[in-house]
Structure 1
Amino acid sequence: MRKFSYLSIFLISILIHSQTVTLQEFSTGFTAPVEITNANDTRLFVVQQTGQIKIVQSTGAVNAGNFLDITNKITYGGERGLLGLAFHPQYSSNGYFFVYYNDLSGNITVSRYSVNAGDPNTANPTSEKILLNIPKPFSNHNGGSIHFGADGFLYISTGDGGSGGDPNNNGQNKNALLAKLLRIDVNATGPYNIPAGNPFIGVDGADEVWAYGLRNAWKFSFDHVAGNIMLADVGQNQIEEINRMPVTQPGINYGWRCYEGNSTYNAAGCAAASTMTFPVATYNHSGGKCSITGGYVYRGALYPAFTGKYFFADYCSAQIGMMSPDNTITWTTAFSGNNFSTFGQDAQNELYVASINNGIIYKVTTTSLSTTENTSKEIKIYPNPAAGRIFVTGLKENNAVAKFINAEGRLVLEAKVEADGRVDIPTLTPGMYIMNIYSEGYLAVSEKVVVKAER
């Protein structure tokens, strides 16, 4: 049974739809989770920075064995370890998946592995084919996101090599593979091919480079509906940034180390600012913020109020941000006790977020309803407004539980639905609540209810 934790919320509009963000505890017991993805089926795959990939079933249960364990191949600690995972677009037929890690020398490595024939829950650890090995001068700023684009090519974000201020100026060196977004064709007999359309083929710049001028992109994602790359870049001392650019536009210079966000950082030898692409949104380190964790534009079906909004987080403040298409940002209050390290999507594009310090995977949900207050035509809740008790009819099970969420997004009452459908609510103060009814541990219906004073 899934456990629900209502940690914090933010209100977008209390007059219209009092939209809220809640986190549903989905799965636990992970060690340093840094990536969540899917293989276009009902499972989630969770990357542990320590070198293992775990499989999570749709119920939240974690398979006892590892999908892959490459602990003996990686350097783990600080920002290093096993960092990224992407499944080949034809994974169901070829069984190929790709990982991004720091090898025993600390270098960035991108490799291909294969699933075990006959066992979809384990990979073949001897099947590694190394595609890239990029030397790194320092231990930090490793990047680590890998995703396949709609064009079928593998995109890879690399950090600037570490230390402070990019001392080697990898960001502006188009011939370096650090501080870049790379694009390669993995359908090759050799390590990889260079896709046609990469911007620096035959000119100044490495053939693999798709975009440059990044400090430490943690992380990027594709919004396939809008056709954009969403890229969060961790700042140096003061400014975190969000970039949004069409996936079809190559050769973008995102500005580091010349600029941190929109502010000049080190202009020595820099090209004109007009040649660079600046972020669509930034935030500073006030309120305990320190480091952006990039996420996804919500394209799921469960929460229409989220559609088209970009979800991200700040690692230190434990807040989740939501950027609207007009680039305005709204923050939650802190989900205390969490350091959010990654977001992820399931095959239905529903959104998850992981906390690296406590090993919890949450599902991102909302207590807001769509324009249809009660999505079930069979289940009825009455009277509304109610006082002292409220009744539920149409449930198919007899062990239902009602949970009441107040206007601050907090769980204030959990009560049994009695055999006659009665739910006793004498402790609820007058006001508006979201009444969520769970049957067999799953959400059966959600409805706004008004509690009035008893006469």
Structure 2
Amino acid sequence: MKYLYFLITLFSLSGFSQTIGIQSFATGFSSIVEIVNAGDDRLFVVQQTGVIKILNANQVTNPSAFLNISALISTGGERGLLGLAFHPNYATNGYFYVNYTNTAGNTVIARYSVNTSNPNLANTASATILLTISQPFANHNGGTLRFGPDGYLYIGMGDGGGQDDPGNRAQNKDLLLGKILRIDVDNGAPYAIPPTNPYAAADGADEIWATGMRNPWKFSFDTVDGNLWIGDVGQFNVEEINKVPVGDGGYNFGWRCYEGNDAHITEGCEPQNTMTFPFVTYSSADGSGNCSITGGYVYRGSAYPNFVGKYFFADYCSDKIGMVADNGTISYSGVLTGGSFTTFGVNAANDLFVGSQGNGVIYKVVDTSLGVDDVSKNTFSVYPNPASGSFSIHSENARFPLQLTVFDISGKKLLEKTIGSGNENINISGFSTGLYLVNTKDDMGMQSVSRLVIQ
């Protein structure tokens, strides 16, 4: 019983002290920079070295790469294969798009097709280059590609690197650096300009949708309201999260005039009231260990109701995941295993994943507060506890039948069945050693949660 008390106490203090946790989902990757789904049950894992691997729903990775363009790219630092997006009609046209730095260090946006006879392989001979953008420095390449709810392809471009954006490229409307670009890949050769782009009929580069970005490493669209969320990496003091409606664009997010909300180099800048300031910021100069935001997603899954509608992000250096509420309040996890989180991803069911460059593991983001009830209020209890092989349910009031569900500590449902009496044994012979949650619900709707140790 001392062993059980120790485990329950430890679990209560550590596992439930924060609601944000992670559970290892797949291992064996290298330099993870992107996790994308193609509308089915597979995850496509982008490695900075130029390789895209397929991770199946059974957590097994295909031995052969989906795409390998390592010979085309420059790697190291912030260069490499950086982005992947599947066409909204991928199931019928087989098109997908990649963002990489070529051997000269310049950004390339290219379209590929899937192999017509094997959906787990790309057609490496199908490459069509859409854009090549000169990069003056090796860093701040951006990298994210996303299709918006308007069907256009959005491209995140950093300011080209160098401290303080020498040349003020992010504010220069004639340059594609330091911008969010938007192009129409379904028309034109190799693309067309959406007619509502802010400079489509005015002075400035037609591809620009928004200006004033430093390094929008990750951005995503909320699948419910269509808002665009951008994690823009700061320079010394401020990491920022921008939230804007898609619309026609024309946003100026402020860099280098402002770092977050703080004035930075304002000489020659447009008026402050013409700029769009962050939805929320956090400090990278407060001793917390923060240094670089990894933008994520608004959670729209069904497994964790407490997460729904909240935006998730991570910091590369502090190894924490943050959760932003509608009012801009940020809640953080504790320091998490693996660390150096470089990307988030979602599957077709909107489960949320995060990739660690520190150990090559993809984790599932989970709500560790699932099923936490006061044990003293339980109507039912489990015995023996600890258990091995099987357990039973005890009730002082013997209100059977009841619905029984067993979860692991990440919230994954492992067993569900109807229990007719307290004499019925529940088989757990295939369960690993550890701590579990047993939920019971009787015919009156009374629910109870007990902690079960399996040894």
Letter in 1 for 2:324: M
Q: What SS is found at the alignment partner of 2:195?
A: coil
Shift of 1:191: 1.3
Letter in 1 for 2:190: P
Residues 1:436 and 1:271: Cα distance change in structure 2 (over 3 Å): farther
Of 285-294 and 382-391, more deviation after overlay is shown by: 382-391
Gaps of 5+ in 2: 1-9, 394-400, 412-423, 430-434, 440-446
Matches within 5 A, 1:118-197: 118-197=117-196
CA distance in 2, matches of 1:235, 1:384: 52
CA distance in 1, matches of 2:115, 2:51: 16
> Is 2:33–2:355's contact at 8 Å kept on the other side of the alignment?
yes
Deviation per CA, 1:63-93: give whole Å up to 9, x if none: 0000000000000000000000000011111
Give the TM-score normalised by the residue count of structure 1. Answer: 0.82
2:297 is equivalent to residue 314 of structure 1: no
> Is 1:211–1:250's contact at 8 Å kept on the other side of the alignment?
yes
Deviation per CA, 1:365-411: give whole Å up to 9, x if none: 113337999xxxxxxx973387855745799xxxx9985689xxxxx
Partner of 1:71: 70
> Is 1:33–1:47's contact at 8 Å kept on the other side of the alignment?
yes
Partner of 1:368: 369
Root-mean-square deviation (Å): 3.1
Partner of 1:430: none
> Is 2:80–2:101's contact at 8 Å kept on the other side of the alignment?
yes
Matches within 5 A, 1:5-16: none
2:206 is equivalent to residue 216 of structure 1: no
CA distance in 2, matches of 1:211, 1:404: 43
Give the TM-score normalised by the residue count of structure 2. Answer: 0.82
Runs of 4+ in 1 over 6 A off after TM superposition: 8-11, 370-373
Matches within 5 A, 1:429-440: 435=437
Partner of 1:383: 380
CA distance in 2, matches of 1:279, 1:123: 38
Gaps of 5+ in 1: 1-7, 374-380, 407-418, 425-432, 438-445
CA distance in 2, matches of 1:82, 1:307: 31
> Is 2:143–2:217's contact at 8 Å kept on the other side of the alignment?
yes
CA distance in 2, matches of 1:267, 1:138: 23
Partner of 1:413: none
> Is 2:407–2:436's contact at 8 Å kept on the other side of the alignment?
no
Partner of 2:94: 95
Shift of 1:226: 1.8
Partner of 1:202: 201
Matches within 5 A, 1:403-442: 420-421=425-426, 435=437
> Is 2:34–2:47's contact at 8 Å kept on the other side of the alignment?
yes
> Is 2:137–2:162's contact at 8 Å kept on the other side of the alignment?
yes
Letter in 2 for 1:154: L
Partner of 2:397: none
Shift of 1:420: 3.2
Q: What SS is found at the alignment partner of 1:79?
A: coil
> Is 1:405–1:434's contact at 8 Å kept on the other side of the alignment?
no
CA distance in 1, matches of 2:253, 2:102: 28
Deviation per CA, 1:235-289: give whole Å up to 9, x if none: 0111000000011141000000000000011011001111000001111123111
Q: What SS is found at the alignment partner of 1:171?
A: helix
CA distance in 2, matches of 1:447, 1:39: 39
Query: Which of structures 1 and 2 has the bigger CA Rg?
Result: 2
> Is 2:52–2:65's contact at 8 Å kept on the other side of the alignment?
yes
Partner of 1:294: 295
Q: What SS is found at the alignment partner of 2:121?
A: strand
Letter in 2 for 1:147: R
Shift of 1:447: 7.0
Residues 1:392 and 1:26: Cα distance change in structure 2 (over 3 Å): farther
Shift of 1:337: 3.5
Letter in 1 for 2:357: I
Shift of 1:188: 2.9
Q: How many residue pairs end up in the alignment? A: 402
